[in-house]
Chains A and B, each alone.
Chain A
Amino acid sequence: MTFLLRLTLIAAFILPGFAFAVVPPAVIEKLALGEGEDKIAAVAEVVTAADPDGLVFLQAMMNGEVQVVAEKKQVLIVRDGKAVDAVSGAEVSPLPEGLEDVVLPNRVRGEIQSAMSALKLVSPDRKTRHTAAKSLLEGGVDAGMLTIISKALEKESDAEIKSMLVLVQAQAQLKSSDVAVRLAAVKALGSSNSPSTKTLLIDLLQKNGDDFAEPDANVRAQAQISLEAVQSRLTWGDRAAQVFSGASLGSILLLAALGLAITYGLMGVINMAHGELIMIGAYATYVVQNFFHQHLPDWFNWYPLLAVPAAFIASAVVGMILERSVIRFLYGRPLETLLATWGISLMLIQLVRTVFGAQNVQVENPAWMSGGLEMFSGVVLPFSRIAIIGFSGVVLLLVWLALTRTRLGLFVRGVTQNRAIASCMGINTARIDTWCFGLGSGIAGLAGCALSQIGNVGPDLGQSYIVDSFMVVVLGGVGQLAGTVYAALGLGVVNKILEGWAGAVIAKIIVLVFIIVFIQKRPQGLFALKGRFADA
């Protein structure tokens, strides 16, 4: 039998076209030829046997590949016009006369499905077992599966799956009539961190009419303790998730606002087209991604390496053209700048619509960015967001270095502090303005590149970030970077926490009211420059 089993296993995995299973012939006969009730009983037998081969046969039944010749009690697995005898494994050709499909009523189908998911627990493949255990853990189990779960638990060698199975077993044991078993089960459930366990425990403590759902007081007390343990773990998971998504939103705001901190904060230019520069960066990423898709599919995972500089350059060039052609004529007239740059933003939106279409385009993540890090059950930190948090940190560092350690940065600071003296020292202030605006625009492009990895890219992309990023700059104060950083992260985290508590719209309104109140107290923002610059 073991030898045959090996053979079938080999057949099942090496020759999937001729996969057949060695399940006791009586069971096979019952499954294929029996009436509805017989079939269900046979399915239960397969489950109790906890034999991975049962899975293969059941799968074949579900696929409609099992056919029978009723008079000869012959059961065949027919695939691609070739038939194999399910009992002996011998090839049968030509196809015998009177071949019929096995009719599966819906009830039997349901039984087979749950049996298959149970049988997956004993599958030789670790990944299959893992998903099966997880789906049972989250979807719930019934008492009938207890045997196979304990069998799987005995065989299981992987610690992670084992711990999941313990919880699954405990869930199934809750329905046991033995008080001691239930008590142990409830205790075991205390180590869980899944929301479904919580509802399970809450159900136990519920009253059904006059009686408790759980008749025994001891078990109820233990359930209460376990429930609290699970709940506190879940709350921490939630909090961690909120802080993470806040940090993620904050890092995006930071990228969007960092460019503004340069163009508005340092240069005093209100650029309403800043959002559109973000959008251009996102579309540049899209173009690079398409190029890799079509011409260098093998290198697709590395496309961000080219997309980042492309986004920077595309937005920086557009920004420099704008500065040269429109904005420089409006220095010192902030309200006019505001209107003119709004006009620019309208034209850029329409331009992108004309070139790329009004629909959103899809930017595909490189493979290493999809998926995520699972902290708890239900709390997944996507790699793409982690990458963006890291990316914004790097960009921040580079901008800081550029402003404090390079010659251009020195000139920029000089022109900001005193344009006339800087000019006297021989700095070409007009050229510095252009480069500085280009730098701010390029950072907007980087923000767009980052955004394209986590959301839709469309012509209206920038519009949704412009109000937020101006808020960041207003809150952070004009003239330096530290305020922008704190304001962006602070707004991001506060926004997400409020969102969890009051909903997205109310959160936005609360933040807005907060900013208005805040400006009452500190009109210069969080980190006002002290001394003479405050007047400038």
Chain B
Amino acid sequence: MSTYKPPSIFTSRGWAGIAAALLLVMVIAPLLNMAVPEGSVFHLSDFAITLIGKIMCYAILALAMDLIWGYTGILSLGHGVFFALGGYAFGMYLMRQIGTDGVYHSTLPDFMVFLDWKAYPWYWAFTDHFLYSLFLVVAVPGLLAFIFGYFAFRSRIKGVYFSIITQALTFAFMLLFFRNDTGFGGNNGFTDFKRILGVAIQTPEMRMTLFVLTGIVLVGTLLLARWLVSSKFGRVLTAIRDAESRVMFSGYDPLWFKLAIWTLSAVIAGIAGALYVPQVGIINPGEMSPANSIEIAIWVAVGGRGTLVGAILGAFLVNGAKSWFTMAFPEYWLFFLGAIFIAVTLFLPRGVVGAYRQLRERMGKGAAGEAKAAA
């Protein structure tokens, strides 16, 4: 009996791509933004930096979605809730960092003053510690996903049923966070952040730090995901996607595999949310709306399920299009988005990356066939 030997994570070309991406994010973009003078053609505006930073957060989220949907075959329509919870967890720290600079000059956030609260509720305890809030960013989405996933997977809820229940989950959380009494700012959520670790958040340096950090996390997540799916663990996940019953009959318990990847995916989504909030400067319950969560699925579908790179590509394509549309013709954006949903499912079931690979394969075969005929 031979043991399974995982293939190397990337080909040499893949590693070169990773290196190029890191160079782009860590050196070239900062240089273009900060060193190149503003009037120059090569200058990267602050607006572009914020936009790209935001989309990179979405790309991390898309990677989380690809792990769970593309590789394990579980379509989550509730990943927005993990993203938002990560954002809220870090947002609590950011709110504490405002200190007494709020409108009411109280140690409490403005919305609590508004509600006439005298002290922080218990779940805000210790959120003024940076490291503890980082722990929350990981722990809160992870714990919720673990509990929810345990009950859902244990009773073998799968397919569409699971999707609908995750949608209901994010819907319920949205309603919960819309309430003022929940203690997370209700409708308006958290905003008006001032600083991180005592450093003002609006400075170009801080913006660039967050940007670079997001880029590194994105590349790191890609490496981690790539390593996971090419390991033995990843092979079991793919097997669960393709034939769950057979996996069970072969002596594996799919519950723990599904639960592990589901929880990891939620944690990654939470980290993406935590990076998103300081760059965008606001987090509100709208992030948990079912519509937002289902959009994540379409990023992955556009790029190509089960390809990882496709998820990132899809996040950039769809969100790039969204930014352009909402500026150029805001009223047509929903038509376009709806059309993407339909077109991708009908005509591009493997996404852009899948279509590209198919095309290359066919051309390669064609070339090989011609070579044979010539020989």
Contact B164 A474 (CB under 8 A): yes
Please tell me which stretch of A152-160, A326-334, A433-441 contacts chain B, meaning at least 4 of its Cβ atoms lie within 8 angstroms of it: A326-334
Q: Mark A328-355, 1 if CB is under 8 A from B, else 0.
A: 0110001111111011111101110110
Q: Mark B130-169, 1 if CB is under 8 A from A, else 0.
A: 0000000000000000001001101111011101110111
Contact A335 B349 (CB under 8 A): no
Kindly list chain A residues whose C-beta atoms are within 8 Å of the C-beta of B301: 339
Interface SS of A by simple majority: helix
**A343 in contact with B337 given A270-B160, A516-B152 (CB within 8 Å):** yes
Kindly list chain A residues whose C-beta atoms are within 8 Å of the C-beta of B334: 346-347, 349-350, 353
Contact A519 B342 (CB under 8 A): no
State whether the Cβ of B341 lies closer than 8 Å to any Cβ in chain A: yes
- CB closest residue in chain B, given A272: B294
Contact B342 A340 (CB under 8 A): yes
State whether the Cβ of A470 lies closer than 8 Å to any Cβ in chain B: yes
Which residues B263-304 have CB closer than 8 A to chain A? Answer: 290-291, 294, 297-298, 301
State whether the Cβ of A509 lies closer than 8 Å to any Cβ in chain B: yes
State whether the Cβ of A184 lies closer than 8 Å to any Cβ in chain B: no
Contact A343 B342 (CB under 8 A): yes
User: Considering only CB atoms and an 8 Å cut-off, how many residues of chain B contact the other chain?
Assistant: 44
Contact B346 A326 (CB under 8 A): yes
**A350 in contact with B338 given A339-B294, A467-B290, A520-B151 (CB within 8 Å):** yes
State whether the Cβ of B335 lies closer than 8 Å to any Cβ in chain A: yes
Contact A344 B342 (CB under 8 A): yes
Contact B341 A505 (CB under 8 A): no
Contact B298 A340 (CB under 8 A): no
State whether the Cβ of B200 lies closer than 8 Å to any Cβ in chain A: no
Q: Mark A500-534, 1 if CB is under 8 A from B, else 0.
A: 00001100110010011101100100000000000
Contact A339 B345 (CB under 8 A): yes
Shortest beta-carbon distance from A508 to chain B in Å: 6
Kindly list chain A residues whose C-beta atoms are within 8 Å of the C-beta of B210: none
State whether the Cβ of B219 lies closer than 8 Å to any Cβ in chain A: no
Report which residue of A343, A350, A354, A512 has the largest number of chain B beta carbons within 10 angstroms of its beta carbon.
A343
State whether the Cβ of B58 lies closer than 8 Å to any Cβ in chain A: no
Contact A343 B160 (CB under 8 A): no
A contact residues, range:
35 or more
A54–B243 CA distance with the chains assembled, in angstroms: 89
State whether the Cβ of B331 lies closer than 8 Å to any Cβ in chain A: yes
Contact B341 A339 (CB under 8 A): yes
Residue in contact with A471 in the complex, picked from B160, B168, B345, CB distance below 8 Å: B168
State whether the Cβ of B362 lies closer than 8 Å to any Cβ in chain A: no
Interface SS of B by simple majority: helix
Residue in contact with B172 in the complex, picked from A346, A354, A509, CB distance below 8 Å: A509
State whether the Cβ of B32 lies closer than 8 Å to any Cβ in chain A: no
Shortest beta-carbon distance from A389 to chain B in Å: 26
Contact B164 A470 (CB under 8 A): yes
Kindly list chain B residues whose C-beta atoms are within 8 Å of the C-beta of A463: 290-291
Which residues B298-350 have CB closer than 8 A to chain A? Answer: 298, 301, 331-332, 334-335, 337-342, 344-346, 349
- CB closest residue in chain A, given B349: A336
Contact A523 B156 (CB under 8 A): yes
Contact B161 A346 (CB under 8 A): no
Shortest beta-carbon distance from A275 to chain B in Å: 11
A346–B291 CA distance with the chains assembled, in angstroms: 9
Contact A520 B154 (CB under 8 A): yes
Kindly list chain B residues whose C-beta atoms are within 8 Å of the C-beta of A343: 298, 337-342, 345
A320–B344 CA distance with the chains assembled, in angstroms: 21
Kindly list chain B residues whose C-beta atoms are within 8 Å of the C-beta of A519: 155, 157, 161, 165
A170–B163 CA distance with the chains assembled, in angstroms: 61
Kindly list chain B residues whose C-beta atoms are within 8 Å of the C-beta of A508: 172, 175
A351–B290 CA distance with the chains assembled, in angstroms: 20
Kindly list chain B residues whose C-beta atoms are within 8 Å of the C-beta of A329: 346
- CB closest residue in chain A, given B337: A346
Shortest beta-carbon distance from A40 to chain B in Å: 42
A326–B155 CA distance with the chains assembled, in angstroms: 33
- CB closest residue in chain B, given A470: B164
Kindly list chain B residues whose C-beta atoms are within 8 Å of the C-beta of A338: 75, 77, 160, 163
**A467 in contact with B345 given A343-B339, A516-B152 (CB within 8 Å):** no
A326–B290 CA distance with the chains assembled, in angstroms: 22
A344–B337 CA distance with the chains assembled, in angstroms: 10
**A334 in contact with B345 given A343-B337, A505-B175 (CB within 8 Å):** no
State whether the Cβ of B176 lies closer than 8 Å to any Cβ in chain A: yes
Shortest beta-carbon distance from A330 to chain B in Å: 7
Kindly list chain B residues whose C-beta atoms are within 8 Å of the C-beta of A342: 294, 341
Kindly list chain A residues whose C-beta atoms are within 8 Å of the C-beta of B338: 343-347, 350
Contact A347 B157 (CB under 8 A): no
Kindly list chain A residues whose C-beta atoms are within 8 Å of the C-beta of B178: 505
State whether the Cβ of B179 lies closer than 8 Å to any Cβ in chain A: yes
Contact B298 A339 (CB under 8 A): yes
Report which residue of B159, B164, B301, B349 has the largest number of chain A beta carbons within 10 angstroms of its beta carbon.
B164
- CB closest residue in chain B, given A349: B334
A474–B298 CA distance with the chains assembled, in angstroms: 24
**A350 in contact with B349 given A339-B294, A339-B341, A505-B178 (CB within 8 Å):** no
A272–B234 CA distance with the chains assembled, in angstroms: 31
A357–B332 CA distance with the chains assembled, in angstroms: 14
**A505 in contact with B179 given A347-B339, A516-B165 (CB within 8 Å):** yes
Contact B337 A509 (CB under 8 A): no
State whether the Cβ of B190 lies closer than 8 Å to any Cβ in chain A: no
Contact A509 B331 (CB under 8 A): no
Smallest CB-CB A-B distances: 5 pairs: A343-B341, A347-B338, A346-B338, A350-B334, A343-B338
Interface residue ranges, B against A (CB under 8 Å): 75, 77, 148, 151-152, 154-157, 159-161, 163-165, 167-169, 171-172, 175-176, 178-179, 290-291, 294, 297-298, 301, 331-332, 334-335, 337-342, 344-346, 349
- Further 20 A-B residue pairs, CB within 8 A, beyond A353-B331, A512-B169: A272-B294, A329-B346, A334-B159, A340-B342, A343-B338, A344-B341, A346-B334, A346-B335, A347-B338, A347-B339, A349-B334, A350-B331, A463-B290, A470-B168, A505-B175, A508-B175, A516-B148, A517-B151, A519-B157, A519-B165
**Residue contacts A-B, CB under 8 angstroms, 14 given:** A326-B342, A335-B75, A335-B163, A339-B297, A339-B345, A343-B340, A350-B332, A350-B338, A353-B334, A354-B331, A470-B167, A471-B164, A474-B165, A516-B165
